[in-house]
Amino acid sequence: MGTVGTATPAARPLLVFDGDCGFCTTWVGRLERTLSRFPEAQPSQWTDVEALGLTRGDVTRYVWLLAGGKRYRGHAAFAAMLRMQPQGVVRFAGQLLVTPPFSWAAAVGYALIARFRHRLPGGTAACALPRPV
């Protein structure tokens, strides 16, 4: 799960997340306060996701970062944000998150957090992912 296709280049990177999810909103706020370089962040509910080449299903299951003409989802989006930072050690950590075998663990960790985000601190029933049909 690294880069997924391309996106129209934007002046500033864009982070699209599930704004109905308290857990997601809390962590976007924390990262915005912590990281010195943070992309513009928009809840998917306020964004024309189709114009960005995404579907409602895409933005329900993953956080997305559109940067440099590329689209990153899930753990790769977080890793790309880390690689945008001026601190070398933080950029290195971001690179590790997309390098096997670390990327495998990061993908599993992201999937578990996404699946159980409604049970994590800050999560609500609105955070629960829809059940597969």
Residue 133 lies in a domain: no
Residue 12 lies in a domain: yes
Q: Is this model's pTM higher than 0.95 or not?
A: no
Q: What is the CA radius of gyration of the chain?
A: 14
Handedness of CA 93, 99, 105, 108 (dihedral sign): positive
The pLDDT confidence band at residue 124, using thresholds 50, 70 and 90, is low
pLDDT digits (tens, 9 = 90+) for 37-81: 999 999 999 999 999 999 988 988 899 999 999 999 999 999 999
Distance separating alpha carbons of residues 74 and 132, to the nearest angstrom: 18
Model confidence at 8: pLDDT above 60: no
Q: Spell 76-115 as b/e; 16+ CB within 10 A means b.
A: bbbbbbbbbbeeeebeeebeebbeeeebeebbeebeebbe
Give the pLDDT score at 12.
Answer: 87
The pLDDT confidence band at residue 1, using thresholds 50, 70 and 90, is very low
Residue 131 lies in a domain: no
Lowest mean pLDDT, pick from 70-74, 106-110, 127-131: 127-131
Average pLDDT over residues 103-131: 81
Token pair, residue 69, equals 């003409």
Domain containing 92 equals 3-122
How many domains are contained in the chain?
Answer: 1
Rounded to 5°, the CA angle 50-54-60 comes to: 110
Residue 128 lies in a domain: no
